Structure 1
Amino acid sequence: MSRISVRGIAVASATAVTAVGAVVGLSGTGVSAPAGAQTVDEASTTKLLEVPAAPQAQELSTGIIQQADAQTAAYDEAQRVQAEEAERQKAEREAAEKAAAEKAAAEKAAAEKAAADKAEADRKAAQERAARSENRGAVEKVSASAADAKAIAQSMMSAGQYTCFSNIVERESGWRVNATNPSSGAYGLVQALPGTKMATAGADWKTNPATQIKWGLNYMNQRYGSPCGAWSFWQSHHWY
């Protein structure tokens, strides 16, 4: 805010008063001057008028300056308060937005976890149902296929080798497809250890006698040369 020059106001006022005195014919002695006479010395008149006006001009100048300073200070304070309020509102908005984002993220994570947990629970339940169904099917198939296992074995090897193979299977599992050793966990006709080894011969290794015989015959041929070689070892060690 620009300030008014008080000195300029005082000088202008003094000049105006001097001019008025000249017009009405005032002189230093108070006598009217004749027409055409020289007017009173303006410099002297100006000095006389300025002397009493100086304190008033100074007071006016000081008052205006103080008022301007007060208005400037008030304006600056208002601007500061307004800026602080704007900053506070901005901080509150940012905090609210952050809280909302964190809440949304937490809710999304919780929903995803709940969905994943449900999917895992459904998968385990399906596996359990399938296992129960497979076990029931295995029991039913064993009762129907135990007698047929020998015929399947006979069709896969010579009569001499079948005799040796049958001697081992009879002692290991009694020709039960689902025979399980409670101590070692060996499984099936040929008591594979672990039973999952027979998966190389077929995915149905738990219930299909043909798959188990195929795997057992291949094992005996690779390890002992033949079922009879395996039977010879078994007689000496009671395992093969």
Structure 2
Amino acid sequence: MTRISVRGVAVASATVVTAVGAVAGVASGSEGKAAQTVDVAGATLLADVPSGAQAQTISDNFSHQASAQQASADAAAKKAAEEAARQKAAADAQAKADAEKAAAQAAQAAEEKRKADEAAANRSKARSAMAAVESSAPPVSVSPGSVQELAQQIIGNDTQFQCFSQIVKRESGWNYTATNASSGAYGLVQALPGSKMASAGADWRTNPATQIKWGLGYMNSRYGSPCGAWSFWQSHHWY
């Protein structure tokens, strides 16, 4: 079977047309001009047109490419969905951990507050009980002279006792229940507040010996001795 060239047919046709045009031009008396030829060099051979099988192959190739692109898009979408799910799971886990931590901290704070409140209540009960004991204890029946003798026995040194005595005489007049109406200072040495003397004994309200021991310790720790305290008192009228 002979291949038929479209290009050949077109050239032949163009030659005929050109020849006829030339003859017609001469017959009409027109000037002789070079006839224009049709460029059909780019014409396609009929043999170059894809056959049915080739067209099917090309169509199949396009289908395969489209399928591959769709598969790639589906894979990318699946990967994105999996990453989003992973991030959401991680965020949910972190939120749960934070909530559990906050709950644990709140529980710990509540327990610490409960313990603190319980300790405060126990201290209050202890203070109330001590106050009840102290208030119920009757004052010791002693005369001022006997209190001074008691102080001299506790202090020992005559010189230090004389300094101690000078302060007590001016602060309370040797009255171990003396109370300052304006400040609330109490006892022989006018401790402010009087409850300070509880460090020397729970009976500080009613026992002059307890007050003497506390007063002697205070003077020694703050001024070095009762005489040191007396020297300060003379300059300031308090100690």
Q: Is the 8 A contact 1:176 1:188 kept in 2?
A: yes
CA separation of 1:180 and 1:98: change in aligned 2, threshold 3 A: farther
Matched with 1:80 is 76
1:103 equivalenced with 2:99 (yes/no)? yes
Unaligned segments of structure 1, at least 5 residues: 1-50
In the TM superposition, residue 108 of structure 1 has moved relative to its aligned partner by 0.5
Unaligned segments of structure 2, at least 5 residues: 1-46
Q: Which of 140, 143, 146 is the matching residue for 1:145?
A: 140
Q: How far apart, CA to CA, are the structure 1 residues paired with 2:236 and 2:51? A: 135
Q: Is the 8 A contact 2:200 2:211 kept in 1?
A: no
In the TM superposition, residue 152 of structure 1 has moved relative to its aligned partner by 3.3
Matched with 1:222 is 225
In the TM superposition, residue 155 of structure 1 has moved relative to its aligned partner by 3.1
Q: How far apart, CA to CA, are the structure 2 residues paired with 1:120 and 1:164? A: 45
Q: How far apart, CA to CA, are the structure 2 residues paired with 1:94 and 1:239? A: 72
TM-score in terms of structure 1 length: 0.57
Q: Is the 8 A contact 2:197 2:210 kept in 1?
A: yes
Q: How far apart, CA to CA, are the structure 2 residues paired with 1:176 and 1:205? A: 15
CA separation of 1:213 and 1:171: change in aligned 2, threshold 3 A: same
Q: Is the 8 A contact 1:152 1:210 kept in 2?
A: yes
* SS class of match (2:186): coil
Percent identical pairs in the alignment equals: 33
Q: Which runs of 4+ in 1 moved over 4 A?
A: 51-54, 160-171, 193-199, 236-240
TM-score in terms of structure 2 length: 0.57
Bigger drift between 118-127 and 217-226 goes to 217-226
CA separation of 1:76 and 1:198: change in aligned 2, threshold 3 A: same
Q: Is the 8 A contact 1:198 1:215 kept in 2?
A: yes
CA RMSD of aligned residues (A): 4.2
1:90 equivalenced with 2:90 (yes/no)? no
Describe the superposition over 1:153-181 as per-residue Cα deviations: whole angstroms up to 9, x where unpaired: 353357x887996786466446335x553
Q: Which of 64, 69, 77 is the matching residue for 1:68?
A: 64
Matched with 1:45 is none
Q: Is the 8 A contact 2:200 2:214 kept in 1?
A: no
Matches of residues 11-50 of structure 1 in structure 2 within 5 Å? none
CA separation of 1:180 and 1:129: change in aligned 2, threshold 3 A: farther
Question: Which residue identity lines up with residue 86 of structure 1 in the other structure?
Answer: E
Describe the superposition over 1:67-114 as per-residue Cα deviations: whole angstroms up to 9, x where unpaired: 111110121121012112211211221121111111101110110110
Q: Is the 8 A contact 2:200 2:213 kept in 1?
A: no
Matches of residues 90-239 of structure 1 in structure 2 within 5 Å? 90-141=86-137, 143-145=138-140, 147=142, 150=147, 152-153=150-151, 155-156=153-154, 169=168, 172-173=171-172, 175-176=175-176, 179-193=178-192, 202-204=199-201, 207=204, 209-217=208-216, 219=219, 222-224=225-227
